[in-house]
Amino acid sequence: MSTDDRLINLVFTAQQKLRTYLNNALTAKRIKVTPAQAGILFLLKQKDGQSMSELSQVLSIDNSTITGLVDRLEKTGFVSRNASPSDRRISQIHITSEGMEEINRAKIVINRVNQEIKEGFSETEIEAFKRILNSFFDKFGNG
């Protein structure tokens, strides 16, 4: 198999390089959240009070990982966790005003990096790339 045909390796390597680059870009602007934590804050900004299971499902991250991410967000004061009034076993996660400020700051950096990814590619190439990436959800599901 030619090196260029190892698509799994290319996708994983690209993902790791992007994660490192984005982490560094956020850190350079003194933003405290990681890309994974930012994903949670973005979801809570759209719809506050989601459960851990809802966040886990949307982000395709297992429950134990979500728990750790939310624990760290709670420690930094970016989210609060409250028992659901209808089922005390379920925690609802709420974004705080500090979390809202942090995600608004992070969004600027994330948008900039997103633009950097597109640089040097035509609109047609970008659309083809998005089609390829979106095909992963159809082929491999959400889990």
Q: Is 60 left (phi over 0), alpha (psi -120 to 50) or beta?
A: left
Check: CB of residue 51 under 8 Å from CB of residue 92. yes
By residue range, what is the domain housing residue 12?
3-140
Considering its fold, how many domains does the chain have in total? 1
Q: 90: helix, coil or strand? A: coil
pLDDT computed for residue 3 by the predictor: 60
SS3 of residue 1 by DSSP? coil
Q: Residue 75's domain is classified under what CATH number?
A: 1.10.10.10
What pLDDT is stored for residue 113 in this prediction?
97
Q: What is the pTM of this model?
A: 0.86
Give the DSSP per-residue string, 16-36: HHHHHHHHHHHHHTT----HH
pLDDT in single tens digits along all 143 residues of the chain: 556 678 889 989 999 999 999 999 999 999 999 999 999 999 999 999 999 999 999 998 998 999 999 999 999 999 999 887 887 788 899 999 999 999 999 999 999 999 999 999 999 999 999 999 989 888 887 55
Rounded-to-10 torsion of CA 93, 99, 100, 102:
-150
pLDDT the model gives residue 97: 97
pLDDT at 13: 93
Residue type, 71: D
Q: Rounded distance, CA 62 to CA 7, Å?
A: 24
Crossing angle for the helix pair 35-46 and 63-75, to the nearest 10 degrees: 90
pLDDT at 2: 58
